[in-house]
Amino acid sequence: MGKSPGNLKARKRADAAVSNILLLTAFISVVAVLLISFFIIAKALPFFTEVPLREFIGSTVWKPSQDPPSFGINSFVAASFFVTILALAFSTPIALACAIYLSEFAKGKSAEILRRSIELLAGIPSIIFGLVGIALVVPFVRSVFGGNGYSILSASIILAIMILPTIINISEVSIRAVSVELRENSTALGATRWQTISRVVLPAAKSGIITSIVLGIGRAVGETTAVLLVGGNAAVFPTSVTSMGRTLTMNIITDMSYAEGTHMSSLFATAVLLFFFILLLNALIFAITRKPQKRDG
């Protein structure tokens, strides 16, 4: 079964062709990202020549159709911030506990059911979360905390549920990836199971857990439909957890259908701000996940 050199050459060439085709398809996504960034920035540029950045980010007055108009998104930045922080505060402890249970304790059928339902939770469309929010969370917040129920708090409760799967899945994987030797060494030293988990396993899985939280932040900041339905959407600065709020994404979608001229480009400027924020988060994940590899090696 001797192979002639010509045959080998042809096969190598075919190999190279396939790898190039694959590379090309892979770069469709790169091109998409670049085109989207160009598009958003190009659409937003005219706005920045008309309204100074300081007024855009610093002012809390959003009256795009008033004469003269005012484009201040400070309230929306604040609302996005508060909603995200609250959602993380609700979600992280539950998600971490769940991840620890799944990776360390859960066995057999119950673990399987739990894992499946978390996957299912990740697949539910956000409009469904929004409707459930209107039907359950809003009345709950209204009766327990007062106000009309459409609030920062309602939005963050819904978001907390939505980011659970993101945090659980990635944390679980990184906790599972902690080597058995580490656990055995800890047990050999006489540590209890809980001591092993809290002092050895969790610190070892730290970078993965932080990454999961940052990804959760990204999901929370970018979520639109669900928070739109429960956040109240009033263009006011949120002063308490029960006050209404409008996040950056809500602002874009609320005005998109009718906006024109400077108003339209102000929405793209809002999108640019969001875009930079997400880039920043990605850079953060990159920085976090890089460090421990150095330590290992």
Partner 1 sequence: MLKKIIIVTVIGLLCALSALNAGGTKEQTTQAQTVYTFGGSTTVAPIANAAIAAFTASKSDVKISYEGLGSSTGLKQLSQGTITLAGSSRELKDSELQSLLKPIVIALDGLSVAVNSSVAIANLSREQLAGIFSGEITNWKEVGGKDASIEVIVRDETSGTYASFKEIVLDPYKKSYKTQSIVARENGELAAKIASTPNAIGYIGMAFNHIVSEAGGHVLTIDGVEPTSQNVIDGSYPISRSLYIVSKGELSESVELDFVNFLLSAKGQSIVAENEFIPVTR
- The correct pick among 229, 269, 272, 274 for binding partner 1 (CB under 8 A) is 229
Can you give the three-state secondary structure of 12-79, one letter per residue? HHHHHHHHHHHHHHHHHHHHHHHHHHHHHHHHHHHHHHHCCHHHHHHCCCEECCCCCCEECCHHHHHH
CA-wise closest residue to 82 among 255, 211, 227: 227
Q: Which stretch binds partner 1 (CB under 8 A): 82-90, 232-240, 272-280, 282-290?
A: 232-240
- Under the binding rule (CB under 8 A), the answer on residue 176 touching partner 1 is no
- Under the binding rule (CB under 8 A), the answer on residue 134 touching partner 1 is yes
- The correct pick among 140, 142, 275, 289 for binding partner 1 (CB under 8 A) is 142
Q: Which amino acid is at 234?
A: A
- Under the binding rule (CB under 8 A), the answer on residue 234 touching partner 1 is yes
Residue 287 vs residues 26, 87, 173, 194, 217: alpha-carbon distances, Å: 24, 24, 19, 30, 16
DSSP letter, residue 192:
-
- The correct pick among 41, 121, 210, 253 for binding partner 1 (CB under 8 A) is 253
Q: Which stretch binds partner 1 (CB under 8 A): 100-108, 162-170, 201-209, 259-267?
A: 259-267
Q: Which stretch binds partner 1 (CB under 8 A): 116-124, 168-176, 180-188, 226-234?
A: 226-234
- Under the binding rule (CB under 8 A), the answer on residue 246 touching partner 1 is yes
Q: Which stretch binds partner 1 (CB under 8 A): 83-91, 103-111, 175-183, 247-255?
A: 247-255
- Under the binding rule (CB under 8 A), the answer on residue 74 touching partner 1 is no
As a whole number of angstroms, the distance between CA 152 and CA 220 comes to 13
- Under the binding rule (CB under 8 A), the answer on residue 236 touching partner 1 is yes
Choose between 218 and 232: whose C-beta lies nearer to partner 1.
Answer: 232
DSSP letter, residue 279:
H
Choose between 191 and 253: whose C-beta lies nearer to partner 1.
Answer: 253
Q: Which residues sit opposite 70 in a β-bridge?
A: 63
- The correct pick among 258, 280, 290, 291 for binding partner 1 (CB under 8 A) is 258
Burial tier of 256 (Cβ tally within 10 Å: 0-12, 13-18, 19+):
exposed
Total binding residues for partner 1 by CB under 8 A?
36
The nearest distance, CB 19 to partner 1, in angstroms, is 11
E strands, 77-214, where? none
Using an 8 Å Cβ cutoff, are 100 and 197 in contact?
yes
Subset of 23-62 contacting partner 1 (CB under 8 A): 23-24, 27-28, 30-31, 34-35
Please tell me whether residue 111 adopts helix, strand or coil conformation. helix
Q: State the greatest distance between any 2 C-alpha atoms of the chain, in Å, as a whole number.
A: 85
- The correct pick among 59, 74, 148, 187 for binding partner 1 (CB under 8 A) is 148
- Under the binding rule (CB under 8 A), the answer on residue 127 touching partner 1 is no
CA torsion sign, 190 to 195 to 197 to 203?
Answer: negative
Report the interface residues with partner 1, using CB under 8 A.
23-24, 27-28, 30-31, 34-35, 63-65, 134-135, 138-139, 142, 148-150, 228-229, 232-236, 244, 246, 253-255, 257-260, 263
